[in-house]
Amino acid sequence: MIKQLLLICTLFYFILSCNNWEDKQSLVTYVGGEIVNPKGDYVYFLKDDQLLDSVPLDNNNKFLFETKNIEAGLYTFSHVEFQVFYLNPGDSLMLRVNTLDFDESLSFTGMGSKSNNLLMDLFLLNEEEIELMPSYYKLPPTHFEKKLDSLKNIRLTIYSEFLQKNKPENTFKYIAEASIDYDYFSKKEIYIMANERRKDSESYHTIPIDFYNYRDNINFGSDVLRSYFPYYRFLFRYFDNLAMEDTDEKNDYQRSSYSHNYRKIELINQKVTHDSLKNNMVMNITGRYLLNCYKKENQENILNLFLKINTNKNQIKQIKELADASMQLTPGSKISNVPLISSRNKIKKLHSIIHNPTVLYFWSSKSMNHNKNIHSRVADLKSKYPEYDFIGINTDSNYNNWMAIINKSGYATNLEFQFENVSKSEKKLVIHTINKAIIVDKSGTIINGSANLFNANIEENLLGYLNQ
């Protein structure tokens, strides 16, 4: 009996030893959990830019993702909102989240949960400090640094206590320490920016040279961190400030300006050493600029700079399509003649329904508060500017549901339409936000391709055209 017991123990030890010899990447890794108040049928898992899998929710709103051959590092979980988490080969991680309060409700259990709960604690500390920081940004530099050092020490204490109880691998320690450092760096960049905006006031402070010493520790090419929000956010703030420092003209420091964005892209190209990180940053800046630019020449210049730098074929394709659509929405261009569905379920081309100066606005049943607010705003503007037609375009794909809302709400059916092909039309008209509106003259020529009916200057814009 003793010999058999010894044999079993020896075999068990041998099996464990063999497992330790195996490459850890061959282990099966699980991520499962529950979505409370789901807003879709799937959850998505990504590694940096790559989709790993789309996992369906079952009847109980639960899911299970199983994978092999993964590397230790950061991954992304997506269900309407995004959350980065840490995975190690062989983890069995469970998470639970309520979409009504995504960040605050997200919790982890199972193997790998301790590391992720630490990262969440660090993230939530930053959220808790949001209301506190504005008063700190008004302090003299040395006083600000003392406050900031105190906040950083809280994080370091939490991290130290974690290390005393756990033995994480080096990759995780690198990420956790980066989370603390880049949050600290980021707040310093915000201070620099806030102080610069007070340059002509008595509250402006001269910042000593050693305040900037942290910039010597920036990693401009981290593969591990390239999709990590604290790192990514810091880099954008840093390059904003660097572009600002490159100009002596105060009025040039507007983040939406052509000169600022052009210079920021140039600086990223000079300093960022990781190709994918550089591609993503340059695409982000180019895309945002194209969505808000009204000058075709500036759009072309930004596009050409992007094409010289970016090496990602898919991103190049997306930006070219966006640039083409954006340029067609510059003032003086003819609006795209996209097909619409009328309240009588007939196909109408956009040009055929424009007979007067017209404001096109957009709404969806996915946001009923916005639906009510935008129609209320339109009624107010229509009473003041009867010379305009205000045409509502629904961005949903369910005709019957759309008509039910129109009839129940008492909207004018002759001034309500629905996109016939939502995705194509949204791309052509660059509908990147539901607050967007487009103003055209009676011939369909664009006056303003990116208006907002809730902006304070919208009435000035409407009146300005009528007075021409």
| Cα–Cα distance, 46 to 73 (Å, whole number) | 12
Q: For residue 111, is pLDDT > 80?
A: yes
Q: Give burial (CB, 10 Å; 0-12/13-18/19+) of 165.
A: exposed
pLDDT in tens, 282-325: 999 999 999 888 889 999 999 999 999 999 999 999 999 999 99
Tens digit of pLDDT for each residue in 236-260? Answer: 999 999 999 877 555 545 788 999 9
The torsion of the CA quartet 199, 203, 204, 207, rounded to 10 degrees, works out to -160
**HEC states along 96-127?**
EEEHHHHHHHCEEEEECHHHHHHHHHHHHHHH
pLDDT of res. 7: 37
The fraction of the chain above a pLDDT of 70, given in percent, is: 93
Q: What is the pLDDT of residue 127?
A: 85
Mean pLDDT of 109-118: 95
* Domain 20-111 falls under CATH 2.60.40.10: yes
Domain boundaries, the chain: 20-111, 124-327, 339-466
Fold of 339-466: Glutaredoxin (3.40.30)
Asked if residues 169 and 112 have their Cβ atoms less than 8 Å apart, the reply is no
Q: Among residues 132, 181, 138, which one has the least CA distance to residue 156?
A: 181
Residue 383 has pLDDT above 60, yes or no: yes
Amino acid letter, 47: K
Q: Do domains 20-111 and 339-466 have the same CATH topology?
A: no
Number of Cβ within a 10 Å radius of residue 223: 12
Whether 126 has a pLDDT exceeding 80, the answer reads yes
For 202, other C-beta atoms within 10 Å of its C-beta total: 5
Distance between CA 440 and CA 121 in Å, rounded? Answer: 50
Please state, for a pLDDT cut of 90, what percent of the chain lies above it: 78
Q: Which candidate, 332, 352, 328, places its Cα nearest to that of 342?
A: 352
Residue 352 has pLDDT above 90, yes or no: yes
The total of other beta-carbon atoms located within 10 Å of residue 193's CB is 16
Q: Is the Cβ–Cβ distance between 10 and 18 less than 8 Å?
A: no
Residue 10 pLDDT greater than 80, yes or no: no
Residue 11, Cβ neighbours under 10 Å: how many? 10
Cα-Cα-Cα-Cα dihedral sign, residues 154, 157, 161, 162: positive
With 60 as the cut, is the pLDDT of residue 17 above it? no
How high does pLDDT run on average in the chain? 90
pLDDT at 369 over 70: yes
pLDDT at 245 (0 to 100)? 85
The residue with greater pLDDT, 206 or 23, is 206
Residue 316, CA atoms < 13 Å, CB-side half-sphere: 11
Res. 143: pLDDT tops 60: yes
SS3 at position 340:
strand
Q: How confident is the model at residue 230 (pLDDT cuts 50, 70, 90)?
A: very high
User: How far apart (Å, rounded) are the C-alpha atoms in residues 244 and 240?
Assistant: 6
Instruction: Using pLDDT thresholds of 50, 70 and 90, give the confidence band for residue 26.
Output: low
- Write b or e for each residue in 294-322: b if 16 or more Cβ atoms lie within 10 A of its Cβ, otherwise e: eebebbeebbebbeebbebeebeeebeeb
Report CA torsion sign: 270, 273, 276, 281: negative
Say what the alpha-carbon torsion angle 182, 183, 185, 188 is, to the nearest 10 degrees.
170
Stretch 269-279: mean pLDDT = 97
Q: Give the pLDDT confidence of 79-90 residue by residue, as tens digits.
A: 988 889 999 999
Q: How confident is the model at residue 19 (pLDDT cuts 50, 70, 90)?
A: very low
pLDDT at 367 > cutoff 50: yes
pLDDT of residue 21: 36
Q: Is the pLDDT of residue 25 over 70?
A: no
Q: Please give the residue that has the higher pLDDT: either 238 or 101.
A: 238
The mean-pLDDT minimum among 126-130, 163-167, 259-263 falls in: 126-130
Q: Which two tokens stand for residue 31?
A: 């991520």
pTM for the predicted model, two decimal places: 0.85
β-pairing, 416-419 with 339-341? antiparallel
Nearest residue to 301 via CA among 261, 336, 329, 339: 261
Task: Count CB-CB contacts under 10 A for residue 451.
Answer: 20
